[in-house]
Chain A
Amino acid sequence: MSATTDVPARVARGPRTVRRVAGRRTAVHAALAGLLLGLALLALLLGELRLTPREVLDGLLGSRVGGSAFVVRELRLPRLLLGLLVGAALGLAGAVFQAVLRNPLASPDVLGVTQGASAAAVATLLLGGLSGWPVVAAAAAGGVAVGVTLQVLAGRGGAAGQRFVLCGVGLGYLGASVTAYLVTRADLRQAQDALLWTTGSLGQASWPLVRTLGLALLVLVPLVAGLAPRLALLQLGDASATALGARPERTRALLLVLAVLLAAAATAAAGPVAFVAFLAAPLARRLLADGSAALAGSALVGAVLVVGCDLLAQHALPGDVVAPVGVLTGALGAPLLVWLLVRGPRPA
């Protein structure tokens, strides 16, 4: 029934509809950016030491030294930036995976990248007794290792990504069961540390971490942006895309590599902040409702989710519970997605 009522609407689409869609896109992007800015401001103002906007500004501009400047520059700003970068990277990675693989469930959580990173990090934590940079490095290596294995196993040949997705799911289960095994064998306190890491947290934010992740994104994001027009062609189907000059196989492979790297970098920095990569793209697509892959929108939604949830996790939970951000991203993002699915505008 839906299909039959859809077709005339799509055929009847004229220039006016195109303009309206473009207008909506600008409005949604602007609203998301505004929301992000507001959340960022709140994140700098709030905390155990409540600052005035003036103090925050002074701290940011570096025109004053002392307690408040230290809090802003060394504690809150790195945490805010880490959340922003991690959210954007995960959102973008999820959007690329879902668009390239044409599977709404595809995301680093499903394709094994997250589980690979988690297994490596948890092994480093529990077996090696290490923390800090070794864990970051192990997580990055684990995520990339899964990505490489996927490319080797399923990178070549047609099947439009299904093979890639299935291999990823298989590797993901393998990684998850390694993690579960390590957790059952560990001392209970360490098991909780491992669980904390696999939930995703911004607690370890520091300037070196922000700089490293920022550098990675500075390389990866422009590359994804450069491929975005070709991704839009791929959405038309391989035959049309080829006719229009895109090389589907190669574009897909490149985009998948970039998405794996984005996800691995973000996961290494903050742990696999739960479900951001899965939720950001469907949320953005339903907000935009223009049928595109919504790459920029997904990055914005991802950043808003992580920064906003970190704010709530730090300040809004009852009692003195301070939860890692990954606990709230799923709990808040998922109902939002369900609500958009039930109430939201028809995707064009």
Chain B
Amino acid sequence: MTSGVQERRAGAASATVVAGGGVRLGAVLGVALLALGAAVVASLALGARDVAPQAVWQALVAPRPGDADHLVVRDLRVPRTLVGLLAGTALALAGALLQGLTRNPIADPGLLGVNAGSSLAIVLGIAAGLTAPLATVGAALGGAAAATAVVYAAAQAGWEGATPVRLALVGAAVTAAATSVVTLVLLSDRRTLGEYRFWQVGSLDRRLDLGALLPVVGPCLLLGVLLAALSTRLLDALALGDDVARGLGHEVVRGRLGVVVASVLLCGPAVALVGPIGFVGLVAPHLARAVVGPAHRGVLLLAAVLGPTLLLAADVLGRLVARPGELEAGVVVAALGAPALLLVVRRGRAVG
């Protein structure tokens, strides 16, 4: 306990020395980026068919047509790794934004109904016979946007506006309602369950046509990252309470709407790409906060690196433990992330 307090004081002291804090954040980010690089290389090289690093490099810069190794790397592993990078970053950022916005440490990217809205749209789509990957992604995006619009409108409609507690409650309620409908469909239609259960577990291996998807997903993610970057000061102020944030000159209502929009722009495409792997978005911000403290600039930056690292590591591990089969990344993320979360929480610095 006392050591925790001392550590926290030490952290606060180093944060006040601006230069020192900057150096520390830079060093931490550097280490995290190295870990991410290692995860990317592993994701390209390892799997049911291991490819030597030189062959990976050759496959990327000078592919030989007909070479099986090069084919595996270019057609399977590169898209998969790209999906992991995009989704991991987006989920981690969305989680950090929502934890800051609702001041609730258990907020995950699914909090505002994004996951539930996507799930509902996808289930209805499958039940109606739309099983093409592109249709699934479209349904997921539309469902996410619709659910969040309902959540925000309902939370904003009452006499006190969209306070953190109301956002969280309405989000959880909409999730409850959507999940109920999903369950009803799945129980009455076995064929839909057969398709949906594989989406629901969460995986990077969806064989998506990235060329067709990126023009849709890319701008959403970019805009989301931009909005997230713009909202760090607002989130720092909101941590002190709405009134203090107002006193510091922030437009609380408009800023909050911006953060909500950012989290949907980030989380919607991510869920569409990999399925509802919300846990990445819960764990990454906590890990980041434990290392760099509660200021949102550091938390967002570090979480954006830790998220994809965790997701890719989980994916690679899933390929290695069940060779020649695979464990879905969604399963492994929880197995990796839960102990990490428990460890951080036990050390007592996650609550920030």
Residues of A within 8 A of B (CB): 2-4, 103-105, 110, 153-154, 157-159, 162-163, 165-167, 169-171, 173-174, 176-178, 180-181, 183-184, 188-189, 191-192, 195-196, 199, 274-275, 278-279, 282, 321, 323-324, 326-331, 333-335, 337-338, 341-344, 346
The verdict on B230 contacting chain A, using a C-beta distance below 8 Å, is: no
- CB <8 Å contact, B190 and A189: yes
A282, B212: Cα distance in complex, Å: 44
B1 to chain A, nearest CB (A): 7
- CB <8 Å contact, A279 and B168: no
Interface residue tally for chain B (C-beta within 8 Å) = 63
A279, B154: Cα distance in complex, Å: 16
Q: A199-B187, A341-B170 are in contact. Are A2 and B161 (CB under 8 A)?
A: yes
- CB <8 Å contact, B157 and A330: no
Q: Which residue of B lies closest to A181 (CB)?
A: B331
Given A158-B1, A327-B180, 12 more A-B residue pairs with CB atoms under 8 Å apart are A165-B105, A165-B106, A170-B283, A170-B338, A173-B282, A174-B338, A184-B328, A279-B176, A333-B176, A341-B154, A341-B158, A344-B158
The verdict on B313 contacting chain A, using a C-beta distance below 8 Å, is: no
> Which of A169, A170, A334 has the largest number of chain B CB atoms within 10 A?
A170
Give the A-B contact count at a CB cut-off of 8 A.
176
Closest 10 A-B residue pairs measured CB to CB? Answer: A330-B180, A177-B334, A331-B180, A334-B177, A330-B176, A334-B173, A275-B176, A334-B176, A170-B341, A170-B338
- CB <8 Å contact, B179 and A104: no
Contacts of B341 in A (CB 8 A): 166-167, 169-170
The verdict on B254 contacting chain A, using a C-beta distance below 8 Å, is: no
Q: A157-B1, A181-B328, A188-B194 are in contact. Are A282 and B169 (CB under 8 A)?
A: yes
The verdict on B342 contacting chain A, using a C-beta distance below 8 Å, is: yes
Contacts of A346 in B (CB 8 A): 159-160
> Which of B104, B108, B190, B345 has the largest number of chain A CB atoms within 10 A?
B345
Q: A166-B286, A334-B176 are in contact. Are A341 and B169 (CB under 8 A)?
A: yes
Partner of B345, one of A4, A170, A323, A329: A170
Q: Which residue of B lies closest to A327 (CB)?
A: B184
- CB <8 Å contact, A180 and B286: no
Contacts of B339 in A (CB 8 A): 170
Query: What per-residue 1/0 map shows which CB atoms of B1-22 lie under 8 Å from chain A?
Result: 1000000000000000000000
The verdict on B264 contacting chain A, using a C-beta distance below 8 Å, is: no
B232 to chain A, nearest CB (A): 23
The verdict on B348 contacting chain A, using a C-beta distance below 8 Å, is: yes
Contacts of A275 in B (CB 8 A): 176, 179-180
Contacts of B331 in A (CB 8 A): 177-178, 180-181
Contacts of B160 in A (CB 8 A): 2, 346
Q: Which residue of B lies closest to A166 (CB)?
A: B345
- CB <8 Å contact, B169 and A104: yes
- CB <8 Å contact, A191 and B163: no
Contacts of B158 in A (CB 8 A): 341-344
B10 to chain A, nearest CB (A): 19
A70 to chain B, nearest CB (A): 29
A166, B177: Cα distance in complex, Å: 24
- CB <8 Å contact, B330 and A177: yes
- CB <8 Å contact, A342 and B168: no
B residues 92-123 near A (Cβ < 8 Å) are 104-106, 108
Partner of B177, one of A105, A157, A326, A331: A331
Quick check: which of B39-47, B48-56, B195-203, B291-299 contacts chain A, the rest being far away?
B195-203
- CB <8 Å contact, B168 and A323: no
- CB <8 Å contact, A341 and B190: no
- CB <8 Å contact, B197 and A191: yes
- CB <8 Å contact, B183 and A176: no
- CB <8 Å contact, B104 and A330: no
B117 to chain A, nearest CB (A): 13
- CB <8 Å contact, B279 and A173: yes
